[in-house]
Structure formats: C-alpha cells, structure tokens
Amino acid sequence: MATYQQLIAQKQALEAQLAEVRANEVTSVIEKIRSLMADYGLSIEEIQGKRRRGRPARSTPGGATRAKAPLPPKYRDPKTGKTWSGRGKKPAWLGKSPNRFLIAEE
C-alpha cells in the first residue's frame, strides 16, 4: 500500500498532467470553432445570441444611466407650500378631494 506522501506526489503529478492535457484540448477546440465560424461566416454576436429574459443590457459605457428629471408638481398645499407630483405615496394633506389642490397648468 502506498504511503500518504506517495499519494500526494501522485495527485500532484496527475493534476499537472490534467492541466497540460486540458490546455492542449482547449487550444484545438478553439481552433476548430474559429475554423467553423470562418466556414459559415459567423460573428461572435451571432454565436452569443440575444438575451431572452430580463431587461436589455445597458449600452452606455460603464453601465451608467441617465439621471431622470424630476416630474413637475401636480398638486400644491396652499398652507405649507408642499407639492406632490402624483407619484408615490399620497400625502395626507390631499385628503379625500385632491382636485382642490390641483395646480393650474400654465
């Protein structure tokens, strides 16, 4: 029976052999893929395909998004001067008849 040290040495030798064989096979697979792409005139975009779910990928560099401009206020409280655009949680000062707080369109 092999000793612990001998088994560790065998393991390291096998791992090195695995890495070498994988590198050789990956190289040949990449060459085969490139040759098939050239034969059929395919591009990388055609190979990758389109995203199927979720939001589309951001096209801006670094994934930055444009800052959205705030919405103009739609309602104004005459006592405090507070405004509300009509989005988000309804403020308590609107009460049951918000039409009386509507800001006249200019």
Summarised one tens digit per residue, pLDDT across range 34-53 is: 999 999 998 888 888 766 67
Write the CB contacts of 58 (distance below 8 Å, at least 6 apart in sequence).
64, 65
Structure tokens at 58: 């951001």
pLDDT of 22: 94
- Residue 86's identity, in one-letter code, is G
More confident residue, 53 or 101: 101
Tell me how far apart the alpha carbons of residues 49 and 30 are, in angstroms, rounded to a whole number.
Answer: 18
Taking 90 as the threshold, does the pLDDT of residue 20 lie above it?
yes
More confident residue, 55 or 71: 71
- pLDDT, averaged across the chain: 85
